Structures are given as C-alpha cells and as structure tokens.
Chains A and B, each alone.
Chain A
Amino acid sequence: MDAAVAEKPARFETVMTPAEPAIMKERKPKIVTEGVTVHYGDKQAIYPLDIKIPDRAVSAFIGPSGCGKSTFLRCINRMNDTIPTARVGGRITIDGEDIYDPALDVVQLRARVGMVFQKPNPFPKSIFDNIAYGPRIHGFARNRTDLEEIVVNSLKRAGLFEEVKDRLESPGTGLSGGQQQRLCIARAIAVNPDVILMDEPCSALDPIATARIEELIDELRENYCIVIVTHSMQQAARVSQLTAFFHLGTLVEVGDTEAMFTNPQERRTQDYIMGRFG
C-alpha cells in the first residue's frame, strides 16, 4: 500500500488541497469530477482531475495558456464530443447525475449547461431570432406570446433589453462587441440552464464592455452555477468566489478566491499570481 503511494507520479500530489474551500460549506456542490482525463489523439491534455464546483457562485479557472482550461471546460457540456480526435475519461456529475452516461442525451445536457465563447458568435439572424433559437429547437414556447416573453426576459436578465428593445428585428451581428457578448449570454439564458460556462468571455472586449459583463456575471451568480475561464487574474479576483489554478493539464490548486490571491499554498500558484510566468 505504501509502496503504491510512493510510485504515484509527482503530479498526483497536486490534487491534494489542504482544506475544503469555505464556499463549499455555504453552497452545495453542483459539478463534481473524478479522475477526468482528456486526450487529443495520442496527446494527453488533461491529467486525472478532481474538482467540486459550487452552485450559485462564480468559479474561475486561471492558468497560463495551453494548460487545458478550455479543454476541461468543454468536458462539462460535452462540447469535446464535436472534436473527432478528443477522448474524455473519468466521471463528471451534475447534481449527482453522470453526464457521460450513455442513457443521457447530450442535447438535453447542453440545454442545461449553457456556454459563452471567447469571441462573441451571434448567429446571422435578428436579435430576436438569436435569443429565440434555443427555445424554438427545444420547444419551450407554446405560442408567439410565450416566445416573446422568454426573449424579453432573457434580454432583461442579460442587461441588454433597454439597449435593443427598439430593434429586435435588426441583425445581432450589427451590435457592438460587448453587446454581442451580452446577446450570447442572453441566448444561453433563454434555454433556462442551471450552469453557464464562459470561456474567456471578455478577451475580445474593451475595458468598459468588460466591466459591464463582469457586473452581469455578478448578478447572474444569484441564480446560476457559473464557471469562467479567464486569463486576467484581476478579473478572477473581481468576479469569482472560487478559483482553480491549472498548469500543464493538471489542477494545481483550488480554493476560495480571496485566500488564493492573498495566501496561495502552492509554489507554482504563487509564481503565476505574482506574474513570474504565464
């Protein structure tokens, strides 16, 4: 038994986080992963990774680029299924339900787990149709009035309604970058998810639009489990309650955001936060 432990590769010890983060005591865990691995062809991108992500809170994934943040995020709504070479191992549960269970339809999963991408990607349709897209394909609305209600509510929640209420029929691609990103958030909200994944949602935006999105994320925290990948440590510090630091495909450290930024336990976390590599 002891010998087996000793033989474990060095990277496994990094998973052992000293104490459970305080936020996990206040919130129930929404997403739980056990030994998740990802390979692209022969190349391993994620080494066995365990993490618990709290509900109704913002969790931030930070780390140098290429360390597997996006790859791991894409496991949570099975977007990696669309990449032919990608293979995912291990177990991921949301509310205790295994999302890689063959009995579960990936389409249902993605309706529950919304995603916002790095570059705003509104469809080449009207603002209204962009938001109505999800509800329509999932058959959420029984009639036009229902649909309009969903669209208006989603836009209001995404803080975009006042800006676009007079031009719902104009193309979504005609909005500014920040508005487009909020449109994409509204589009994700419209299918009524529990979880919203955001992959560097502000990296293509100017500081003012970024501040607007951060405000929005803070408001959404009340109702959703939000996971955000960011390359900006200030952003992680501003919006998140839990921070996870990734490096070379492993989860180095996870903890309450405040604790992580004031008193990181791991040497590598320290170095990264101090800006010594990245």
Chain B
Amino acid sequence: MSTGLLTLFCAAAFVLVWWLARSRARSIEQANRGQRLHSRPVYHGVYVALLTVIPALLVVVAWAIAEPFYLSKIMSAALPPDVAARPAGEQSLVLLVINSLADGWSRLTAADIAQVREAGPDVQRMLAAKDIFLPSAPEGWMVDIARDVSQAKSVSRLLATGVTVLAAVGGFFYGWRKVATGLRARNLVERMMLLGLMSASAVAIFTTIGIVFSVLFESIHFFSMVPVTDFLFGTVWDPRFSAAGSDSSGQFGVLPLLWGTLYISFFALLVAVPVGLMSAIYMSEYANERVRTVAKPMLEILAGIPTIVYGLFALIAFGPFLRDFGGSLGLDISANSVLTAGIVMGVMIIPFISSLSDDIISAVPQSLRDGSYGLGATQSETIKQVVLPAALPGIVGAVLLAASRAIGETMIVVMAAGIAANLTANPFEQVTTMTVKIVSQLTGDLEFNSPQTLVAFALGLTLFVITLGLNVFALHIVRTYREQYD
C-alpha cells in the first residue's frame, strides 16, 4: 500500500472511530436518563480515535526503524567468511548489490533469476530494465543471500501488518469499553495533545543534541589521532592529503583559520555596525513616512541577495577594483584579501543590523523622548543620551546576531578572501576561514577515517563553541540591561 493511501486510510479510520465513539457516548448519556457525562461526547470520540490510531502509528514507526537492522544482521551473518574478512569499504559494495537485488526481488521471474545466476553479459542491463541498478554483476552466492533477505523482508512486512492491526483494534476496544459517564475524556485528550506538543519540541531538541554529539564524537576520534594542543595552538594549517595507510598526517593548526574568521568578521562589523546603526537612526528618528516606505524595503532587499551573488560581485568587481585602487596608491592589495571579503561581507550584514536596530529604536517609548525634549534637550542629544542607551541591549543583540552570520559565512570568503590558510596581520593578503576549510576537507575523494576528513568535525565543533559563546554573551548582556530598564 502506498503511503498516500495509508494516510487516507488512517484518516478515515480516525473519523469513523471518532463518530462511533461519540455516538456511543451520547447513547450512554441517554440510557442513564440524561445523567451528565463528565466530558462532552466529542471528547469521548477523539479519545477513542486517538487510542486507535496512535498505538498503530507507533508500531509502524518502530518497525520502520528496526527492520533494516534486522535485515542487515541476516545479511552479514550469511556472508562467506572470505568476504566477511574484507575491509568495511569493500564489504559495503557487496552489501549494496545484495540489498538492491533483494529490494527488486519481487519483480524478477524465475527465468530472470536463472539468467542472473548464469551471469550472462547483459545481466546488468536486464536488471536495470526492471529498475534494479547494480554497481557490478552479482555472483551466485549474492543471489542466494538476496533471496533469503527478500523472504525475510516479506515475512517481516506481514508480521508488521498483523501487529499494527492488532494494536489498532486493541486500542479501539480498550477505549470503547472505557466510554462511560464518569470518563474524564477531555482531560485525557488534552493530556495526549500536550504529549504531542511536547514530542514536537523534543524533536527539535533531540536533533540538536544528536548533531552536537555526533560532531563531538567525530571530533574526539580526530583528537585521538591529532593531539588537541596541536589543533588548538598549531600555527600551521597543512593537512596534506595522504595516500591511505601512509603515515604523513600533515599539520592541523586551527589558529590561521580562526584568525582568518575573526579578522574578516572584524572588518565586516567595522563596515556594518556604523552604517547599519546610522541608517537605523535615520530611518526611525529622522526620515518621514514617504522616505521610510521606500527606503526600508530597499535596505531589506540586501538581506535577500544570496551570498554567492555577493561573492561573485567581490570576485569580479570589487576585488579587482580594490587591487587597482591600491595599486594607484602604491599599496600591494591582492585581489583576494581580508579587506575585500570583510567589506563585501559587511555590506551583506548591514540589513541585519539596520533593520533590527530600527525596530528596537522605534520601540523605545515616546514618553522617554518627550521627557528629554521637555528638559530642553535637542533631538540629537535625545537620541544619543536617551534613545540609544535605552535601545542598547537590543542593538548589542542585533550586532552579535550579525557577527554570528559573518562567522558562519562561507561563499563570500571562498570567492573574496581565497582558500589559502594564512596567519597574517596584513589585511591586503589572502586568508581563509574555518567554514571554507570544512567544505574543502569534505569535498573530493573521501576516506572517512583519516584526520584529513575528521578535522572538519573538529572545525565544526570549534565554530559551534564560538557561536554558542557569542549567543550566551548576547543573552547575558540583554538580561543585565533589561533588569535595569524595565
């Protein structure tokens, strides 16, 4: 049965059960000479319907998670000893062939199978015509395993259907028998709803935790090959891609990357904070309605431009311009430089700062401005000494948000600052950032146990710690000021 049909069936079952149980609640009410039910009949209906559908859904989900484990266990157990002894990489290829074959088993006739066993020249093409795509022609023993696996799968499916139906029917009867005048159906339904809401937020939380832990474990794996101190305090980034098995592991000093990240972000903020803040002040305090309605959306369009477009702009227009301009002043500015990336990234984050700060400044109560004007302060004195200090926590939050955008930015850096890890104070030279190196370590031919690849996780973890620290700091500032101002 297709997923769509299944969903439809579930919905139909839900409505039917709901209707049945509601009617039952009503007739019970009448049979007891109008003795009031604790909850309205609707709730009885929903209660029984939920009891019918939820256990069945849980069974389906649990089965979908457990089945692959069970099948792969059967498969590994059936592998010939010489194959089982091969390294994991080669084994996975064999497993892939068996799996694909098992998946399509039901579409193969006995004649097809015989042909596969004979291993004729056109086997792969014949299978492909039946939507079975194999990386290599299967050997005889693979066909045997595939048959076993496919049989195990059919049995498992049959069982799953049985258990699901059982769960649904069991749930239904359990609920059905409980419908009575005293059943606190509304409270029970509300509790189930609450559980649903809680599990929705749990999804977000557990995903985060899962990501953090997987990054953490891979990083620990990395640090078992490269000492933490070499990573954190190393000043050279040179992760030579080495042939598998060879010992030369390269150097993994994160400092040049960290430096590049912070240096570029610094320039970006140097551009974005003054420009963004001043435009926010103009928009919220000085601009009349006509200017606002035109200029504000224009500024916000900046935020909608994909960063790759900024990168392009930096690469083909701004970088060369800066190089030539520097040349005319006698400065040696590389087309890819900290300055180029910083300035372009600064332009990119202007709208974050200006738009958020504008909202925050506009939210400062008019009564504070009136109070200041009433004491004979000018508009600029009022803005500087009353409005901005009151808006400061929010503005700091906006700046930190922009900073974490800058730190996480990749495309602009690749195109505007280059990919050479460089520990330099000269803003006219190339540098690169952690995000860029994460990408470059993970592209190309991968070998998942080498420090060259695993270092990406360590970089990711470092980045995560930095942005987390930034957010905690931002929250702290906002809290302290808020206590003072409310």
Q: Which residues of A contact B (CB under 8 A)?
A: 77, 79, 82, 84, 107-111, 114-115, 117, 119, 121-125, 133-134, 137-138, 171, 173, 184, 187-188, 191
Alpha-carbon distance between A241 and B239 when the two chains are bound, in angstroms: 88
B376 touches A137 (CB 8 A): yes
In the bound complex, do residue A110 and residue B375 qualify as a contact, i.e. CB atoms below 8 Å apart? Answer: yes
Q: Is B377 an interface residue (CB 8 A)?
A: yes
- Interface pair B375/A117, CB less than 8 Å apart: no
Could you list 30 examples of A-B contacts with CB < 8 Å? Answer: A77-B374, A79-B370, A84-B288, A107-B378, A108-B376, A110-B375, A110-B376, A114-B374, A121-B365, A122-B371, A123-B368, A123-B372, A124-B368, A133-B372, A133-B377, A133-B385, A134-B375, A134-B376, A137-B375, A137-B376, A137-B377, A171-B484, A173-B484, A173-B485, A184-B371, A187-B375, A188-B374, A188-B375, A191-B375, A191-B376
| Complex-state Cα separation, A134 to B376, whole angstroms | 7
Residues of the B chain whose Cβ atoms lie less than 8 Å from the Cβ of A111: 375-376
Rounded to whole angstroms, the CA-CA distance of A271 and B22 in the bound complex is 63
- A119 — which chain B residues lie within 8 A by C-beta? 367
Which of B367, B376, B485, B486 is in CB contact (< 8 Å) with A117? B367
User: Which residue of B is nearest A138, CB measured?
Assistant: B376
Q: By the criterion CB–CB under 8 Å, are B389 and A125 in contact? A: yes
Identify the 10 closest CB pairs spanning chains A and B, nearest first.
A115-B374, A111-B376, A110-B376, A124-B485, A121-B367, A134-B375, A121-B371, A124-B390, A171-B484, A107-B376
Residues 344-379 of B at the A interface (beta carbon under 8 Å) = 365, 367-378
Once bound together, how far apart are the Cα atoms of A125 and B484, in whole Å? Answer: 8
Chain B residues whose CB sits within 8 angstroms of the CB of A133 once the complex forms:
372, 375, 377, 385-386
Nearest-CB residue, chain B, relative to A171: B484
CA distance A122 to B370 in the complex (A): 11
Please name all residues of chain B whose beta carbon is closer than 8 Å to the beta carbon of A79 when the two chains form the complex: 370, 373-374
Within 8 A of A (CB), among B418-463: none
Residues of B within 8 A of A124 (CB): 368, 389-390, 484-485
Quick one: closest A residue to B288, CB to CB?
A: A84
Bound: A77/B385 CA distance, A: 21
Least Cβ–Cβ distance between B24 and chain A, in angstroms:
58
Residues of B within 8 A of A114 (CB): 374-375
B300 at interface by CB-CB < 8 Å: no
What is the CA–CA distance of A125 and B390 in the complex, to the nearest angstrom?
9
> B370 — nearest CB in chain A belongs to which residue?
A117
B381 close to A (CB within 8 Å): yes
Give the residues from 384 to 414 in chain B that come closer than 8 angstroms, CB to CB, to chain A: 385-386, 389-390
- Bound CA span A184–B371, Å: 8
Q: How far is the CA of A191 from the CA of B390 in the complex (A)?
A: 22
Query: Could you tell me the distance between the alpha carbons of A81 and B370 in the complex, rounded to whole angstroms?
Result: 11
Q: How far is the CB of B384 from chain A (nearest CB, A)?
A: 10
**Cα–Cα distance between A26 and B367 once the two chains are bound (Å):** 36
- In chain B, what residue has the closest Cβ to A124? B485
Q: Hey, which chain B residues are within 8 Å of A107, CB to CB? A: 376-378
Residues in chain A near residue B389, CB distance under 8 A: 123-125
Instruction: Collect the chain B residues with CB atoms within 8 Å of residue A117's CB.
Output: 367, 370-371, 374
With known contacts A137-B377, A187-B375, A171–B485 Cβ distance under 8 A:
yes
| B370 near A82: Cβ-Cβ < 8 Å | yes
- Specify which chain B residues have a CB less than 8 angstroms from the CB of A84 in the assembled complex: 288
Chain A hits for B486, CB < 8 A? 173
Of all chain B residues, the one with the shortest Cβ separation from A82 is B373
Q: Identify the closest chain B residue to A107 (Cβ).
A: B376
Contacts of A184 in B (CB 8 A): 371
Chain A residues, Cβ within 8 Å of B368: 121, 123-124
B residues 292-311 near A (Cβ < 8 Å) are none
Most B CB atoms within 10 A — which of A107, A121, A133, A191?
A121
A109 to B373, CA, bound (A): 11
Please report the C-alpha to C-alpha distance between residue A223 and residue B368 in the assembled complex, in whole angstroms: 27
B456-486: contact bitstring with A at CB < 8 Å (1 yes, 0 no)? 0000000000000000000000000000111
Point out the residues of chain A lying under 8 angstroms from B374, CB to CB. 77, 79, 110, 114-115, 117, 188
CA distance A29 to B385 in the complex (A): 36
Q: Which of B368, B371, B389 has the most CB of A within 10 A?
A: B371
**Minimum CB–CB distance for A157 against chain B, Å:** 16
Instruction: Give chain B residues whose Cβ lies under 8 Å from the Cβ of A134.
Output: 375-377
**Chain B residues near A188 (CB, 8 Å)?**
374-375
**With A171-B485, A173-B485, A173-B486 given, is the CB distance from A123 to B377 under 8 Å?**
no
Known contacts A110-B375, A124-B389, A137-B375; 19 additional CB pairs below 8 A are A79-B374, A108-B376, A110-B376, A111-B376, A114-B375, A115-B370, A117-B371, A121-B368, A123-B390, A124-B368, A124-B484, A124-B485, A133-B386, A134-B377, A137-B385, A138-B376, A171-B485, A173-B486, A188-B375
Cα-based distance from A188 to B386 in the complex (angstroms):
16
Complex CA gap A121/B368 in Å reads: 6
Whether the Cβ atoms of A123 and B376 lie closer than 8 Å is: no
Tell me the complex Cα distance, A119–B367, Å. Answer: 8
Which residues from chain A contact B390 at a C-beta distance below 8 Å?
123-124
Complex alpha-carbon distance, A117 and B371, angstroms? 8
> Which chain B residues border A115 with CB–CB below 8 Å?
370, 374
Q: How far is the CA of A119 from the CA of B366 in the complex (A)?
A: 11
CA distance A134 to B484 in the complex (A): 21
Cβ of B366 to closest chain A Cβ, rounded Å: 9
Nearest A residue to B382, CB-CB: A137
Instruction: Tell me the bound Cα distance from A79 to B385 in angstroms.
Output: 19
- Across the two chains, which residue of chain A brings its CB closest to B483? A171
Please state if A137 and B381 are interface contacts (CB–CB under 8 Å): yes
Contacts of B378 in A (CB 8 A): 107, 137
